[in-house]
Structure 1
Amino acid sequence: MSENSSTNRTEGDRTFYNMPSASGSNTNLYNGTKINAKENRYPHCIVWTPLPCLTWFLPFIGHMGICTTQGIIRDFAGPYYVSEDDMAFGNPVKYWQLDPSKAQNGKDSWDKAVHMASEEYKHRMHNLCCDNCHSHVAMALNLMHYNGSSSWNMVKLCFLMMIHGKYISFGSFLKTWLPFVIMVIIVVLIAYFTSSS
């Protein structure tokens, strides 16, 4: 997103950034930092991208990472490996920006928690069903006691990302949903022709 594609306004000590959303309307993002999709910078965001094949059948399931306050993406990419700025299944298509002031000790706590969770997951085996990229993000949020909670988990994050996640562009929306729609059409056509024969 180009620097002049958004207009800023300041009220007191707060800066608001009006960023165009995928639908064309403006989304007010506060916290003094801008999302820059072209540079893959998503300050204090949870980011999400589709998983090949799996997301085609279950569009709410994908790969998740968490970003530092500077927007650097950390994701549990595989056994004993947490990547930095190189998301395992491609660039994010969706993000959910959180408020670092809701971490127990503010901005410093956010970055420390992301680092600690990442270091821990460098020593863990990846398990698709039980201990995965969502679990890594949940650990970071639990360590910082985000929003006063230490009960973040993969199911909660999956559900909340569906509600709060914003697509980066219309193309990102299509990348997520088009394969699923095609699969549904194929299944419906097969069922129709099988029943009518």
Structure 2
Amino acid sequence: MVDVVLDSVNEPPTVDDCINLEDPERDLYPFSVVWTVIPFLTWLCPIVGHVGICDSQGRVWDFQKSKTIIIDRMKYHRPIKVWRFFRATGTDVASQQGRAHLLLSNRRIPEQWDRIIVDGSNLYTQYTYHWKNRNSYHHVAECLNRVDPNSSVHYRTSTIIWRLLKEGKFVRKSSILVVYLPLIILLLLLIIIILLVVTLATRKH
């Protein structure tokens, strides 16, 4: 069982207060889904990775192994890409889908968001990790589907992958190299090997 306690203040923090806590140096991304590489697998297929979901304070909640949620630290690597599920628009909030009604029933968005993550994470502390059928994507999807149970959008692994590709942003320019440089090097080596084999075969004839 896991729980979260917001910082003690006289009044609940606003959405703007929380969004202003974003700090790439400390890996804080409020109201966001974050993605990172899985060594070797991501290098071979860049869309393969590991995800976590961040609370209103920006701390990542990560389903890393069976019955275990780790807070404030991702498995494998620091966050590489961030999908900001909410963005500030003046005094209002809109999702990346442009739907401003999410979580606005009583304006206590940070508290509601954190409760959703706690409830989804508590459920996953009962589950055995499985690389295919019960992994970090399933944990994040469980949390996101609690945001608006009546929504026509149902999050699953493929949905999260697509939204990260479409709307995710690399946290820094060097992150692009972390994802794609190994694959580029492997492809170049493969091309060189093929050219050498073709050249040697040609010489023999």
Name the TM-score class by shorter chain.
0.7 to 0.9
TM-score, normalised with respect to structure 1 = 0.78
Which whole-Å CA distance do the structure 2 matches of 1:109 and 1:144 have between them?
Answer: 9
Letter in 2 for 1:47: V
* SS at structure 2 position matched to 1:66: strand
What is the total number of aligned residue pairs between the two structures?
A: 171
- The question of 1:177 aligning with 2:180 is answered yes
Q: Give the CA RMSD over aligned residues.
A: 2.4
**Aligned-pair distance for 1:107?**
3.4
Tell me, yes or no, if the aligned pair for 2:35 and 2:79 is still in contact at 8 Å: yes
* SS at structure 2 position matched to 1:64: strand
**Aligned-pair distance for 1:191?**
2.5
**Aligned-pair distance for 1:57?**
0.5
Q: Structure 1 vs Structure 2: percent identity of aligned residues? A: 26
Letter in 2 for 1:55: T
* SS at structure 1 position matched to 2:194: helix
Tell me, yes or no, if the aligned pair for 1:143 and 1:150 is still in contact at 8 Å: no
* SS at structure 1 position matched to 2:161: helix
Q: Which has the larger radius of gyration?
A: 2
Residue ranges of structure 2 left out of the alignment (5+ in a row): 1-13, 88-92, 94-101
| Pairs within 5 Å for 1:20-169 | 32-99=19-86, 101=93, 102-103=102-103, 105=105, 106-145=109-148, 148-149=151-152, 151-169=154-172
**Aligned-pair distance for 1:104?**
6.6
Q: Residue in 2 aligned with 1:9? A: none
Letter in 2 for 1:44: F
**Aligned-pair distance for 1:145?**
1.7
* 1:112-135 Cα shifts (integer Å, max 9, x gaps): 111111111111111112211011
Higher relative contact order (CA 8 A, sep 6+): 2
Which whole-Å CA distance do the structure 2 matches of 1:103 and 1:39 have between them?
Answer: 27
Identify which range, 132-141 or 168-177, moves more after superposition: 168-177
TM-score, normalised with respect to structure 2 = 0.75
Which whole-Å CA distance do the structure 2 matches of 1:171 and 1:146 have between them?
Answer: 37
| Residues 166 and 68 of structure 1: CA distance in aligned 2, closer, same or farther (over 3 Å) | same
Residue ranges of structure 1 left out of the alignment (5+ in a row): 1-12, 16-29
* 1:22-73 Cα shifts (integer Å, max 9, x gaps): xxxxxxxx97534201111100010011001100101011110000011010
